[in-house]
Structure 1
Amino acid sequence: MSMKNATGKGTLAIGYRDEAGTCHKDFEMRLPTLEDIEEAIADAGEGACQARVSRHVWARTITRLGTLPAEAIDASLLAGLADVEYGRFADVEASIRKKLLAESESSGS
């Protein structure tokens, strides 16, 4: 898995219900870049807690939530999700990182 293809999939516990009543639960995300982290810190504001920074990172790295495209997903939308979803996003991000690290170690590069 190259950094370019470093994505993972997951399913939210409760999900996001849009204005039409559709519940979106399945998601796909990519591993954040350093730029994603820097921009999320700036967007979250000075002194923001780690949860808020993570939410801003995920708003940049979630490529799909149900049928919602990446451009429809922002930090405000994620802020309205149930707290249990935090762990779902964190777990998928960690699994992508783990795959990339394993690949890097096995390639000897």
Structure 2
Amino acid sequence: MEIKTEDYGICYDPSTATVSFIGSLRLSGPQEYAPIVQLLEEVADLAQAKITLNLQQLEFLNSSGINMLSKFIIEVRKKARVQMAVQGSQRIPWQGKSVNNFQRLMPSLEWELL
């Protein structure tokens, strides 16, 4: 599963259950984020034990994107059978701030700054 545009790329590696985000997500609202939501929902349905979101190369995520990821994290938390991890980069300021909020939504979420 993969989504590629001029501004961003999202790909799923089933061997590691990792969704990697690259570039800048500046989409305007839920309708434009719908293909990404669909990809994430498919990943959640396939996942056995753990899903990793790799955000290390995601330079920018607007408020609509943060909202989309927050809703996804809540859905994964509701399933209770799947653990979630988020990998981020120390050099990208928004990630540290947002992940604190993600951890409030799912206290068991694992967070790693690389």
| Greater RCO (Cα-Cα under 8 Å, separation 6 or more) | 1
Hey, which of these two has a bigger chunk of helix by percent? 1
| TM-score bucket of the superposed structures, by smaller chain | under 0.3
Hey, which of these two has a bigger chunk of strand by percent? 2
TM-score (structure 2 length as normaliser): 0.25
